[in-house]
Amino acid sequence: NAGVTQTPKFQVLKTGQSMTLQCAQDMNHNSMYWYRQDPGMGLRLIYYSASEGTTDKGEVPNGYNVSRLNKREFSLRLESAAPSQTSVYFCASSPGTVNTEAFFGQGTRLTVV
């Protein structure tokens, strides 16, 4: 049972480059989330999708876009990477359309130079 799978695990980008972080879950969950984790700041929500076909901004959406491709997949795109986007990114999913326990992927460590 894979749970939540993120790719890639590590990535180094140059300032201005673009990339897409991929996330897929095999638990038939309705809601999916993208968080970033920075030292001393806790997890901060970038975007979420409460159900297939919907996406909404979280606490720190600037510089990011998302696509809920289908019920399983939720991708995060950085159009023009900046050093401030250096972080660890986590995708998560939860079964309901309101907050229930979330299941997290292993994370993507992104460095923007």
> Under the rule (CB under 8 A), what is the footprint of other proteins?
4, 33, 35, 40-45, 48, 50, 56, 58-59, 90, 92, 98-107
Smallest distance, Å, CB 17 to other proteins?
Answer: 24
- Is 105 or 112 the residue whose CB approaches other proteins more closely? 105
Question: 11 or 17: whose CB is closer to other proteins?
Answer: 11
In DSSP notation, 6-34 reads: EE-SEEEE-TT--EEEEEEESS--SEEEE
Rg of the chain over all Cα atoms, to the nearest angstrom: 13
